[in-house]
Structure 1
């Protein structure tokens, strides 16, 4: 079983962490290499575990334990990581990702806060039919927007595409059915969709099913180091706001 009981604590064999090592508030980057930097904006931070693609750091924000856990790439990896963390007691999640732009006039330094996602993947179908929307939590989205505004950082709020095939977007002419792929991209662009990534729709659907909160914030592909610094600041401030609101203050 992925979750075991060790000394009256829940333990995740997949993540290599126990319930007392994970905060209720969690940032979810895909890339394990980004975990230490994201966590550096926490207080009292320390490395917890490293297993497969999952690197875990935990610290505090406003006195509340919070963690950063890498998921790896794609919706199946997101689903597995999220389910494990929920079973360990986490309840608030922010996906911190890299995405490709769909609106080509978007400033590449802008951060993209996703309030909903097109379910252009198959993992979330195991949880809900395609007619069920992939929508972020209002409080988490509001916290991200407020944090970005307070820090005077450029950002946009909108819809993303979550897909299974990376090269279906980046090399559509090399794919079978290239015409349909190109037409889909044009349709998304005309409809105002902002970006394309590979995880957030499954995060939103599972969070709805499991009655937890989730939001997403994306950097555009090829982001500069300062963009990672900016998104890290926004995420830390957003979690601080959520902790404050949850305390009723």
Structure 2
């Protein structure tokens, strides 16, 4: 196992050098994984661009190795990538994602740090029972909050709804399918009253995997849609929101006892 390149991520332990990384920053978007590596890391090496699952090895200014990797969209893709990352030695994963706020007080441009997730995802059910908690690592979560405070980034800590679909599962009707199943009609309002902060598509499965696989994981998401006002992504605020999430994750690492 130590000398093989894994089928999906396209690299193996032998590609990580004499000081292999134990922390991965995981993005759904391959362009975001590349942006993180090229903007915030040094001496960057492209590990793989296999199947659109781009991965990069780079270093923080203090010399600490960091893996910037792509999970792909949705829990099934993430479950494959995370399984293989754990096999190459990753022990901590911070998801840097995007999300839609479902609370009126959380604006586009801010970030949501997940302390736990309501996990409505089929992939997670293959890994652990429905009742198995999807809880973030408390130490990484506190580090994310500390970093956001130090950077004066508007941030919110709470529960995330992780669902499998972008349209129907998040109660969007402005799509090719405006007819939702009855169990989904009104679900956003229900979640709002349960004090859930946001919708996204990967965090719940990541957190369940962390519990089962025995690694540490947390999630910070850029708010790019305000679902109490509309269904659309607010493109003119997307970049600053993503930058806020990335800066929070990068700076959180210095608060961790590695």
Give the TM-score taking structure 2 as reference length: 0.87
Aligned equivalents of 1:238, 1:10: Cα separation in 2: 32
Q: Does 2:179 correspond to 1:175?
A: yes
Q: Displacement, 1:48?
A: 2.0
The DSSP-based 3-state class of the residue aligned with 2:47 is strand
Aligned equivalents of 1:202, 1:161: Cα separation in 2: 11
Does the aligned pair in 2 maintain the 1:53–1:71 contact within 8 Å? no
Q: Displacement, 1:170?
A: 4.8
Q: Displacement, 1:112?
A: 0.4
Does the aligned pair in 2 maintain the 1:99–1:220 contact within 8 Å? yes
- In the alignment, what sits opposite 1:147? 147
1:227-242 → structure 2 map (5 Å cutoff): 227-242=241-256
Q: Does 2:63 correspond to 1:63?
A: yes
Q: 1:33 aligns with which of 31, 34, 50?
A: 31
Q: Does 2:240 correspond to 1:226?
A: yes
Answer with 163-172 or 84-93: which moved more: 163-172
Give the TM-score taking structure 1 as reference length: 0.90
1:41-52 → structure 2 map (5 Å cutoff): 41-52=40-51
Partner deviation per Cα, 1:9-62 (whole Å, 9 max, x = no partner)? 342121111214262100110000111211221232232210112001111233
| RMSD, matched Cα | 1.6
Q: Displacement, 1:163?
A: 0.6
Q: Displacement, 1:165?
A: 1.7
The DSSP-based 3-state class of the residue aligned with 2:118 is strand
5+ long unaligned stretches in structure 2 = 225-233
The DSSP-based 3-state class of the residue aligned with 2:40 is coil
The DSSP-based 3-state class of the residue aligned with 2:116 is strand
Partner deviation per Cα, 1:82-123 (whole Å, 9 max, x = no partner)? 000000100100111111111133121211001110111111
Question: Structure 1 residue runs of 4+, over 6 Å off?
Answer: none
Does the aligned pair in 2 maintain the 1:172–1:181 contact within 8 Å? no
Aligned equivalents of 1:149, 1:209: Cα separation in 2: 31
5+ long unaligned stretches in structure 1 = none
Q: Does 2:113 correspond to 1:113?
A: yes
Does the aligned pair in 1 maintain the 2:128–2:208 contact within 8 Å? yes
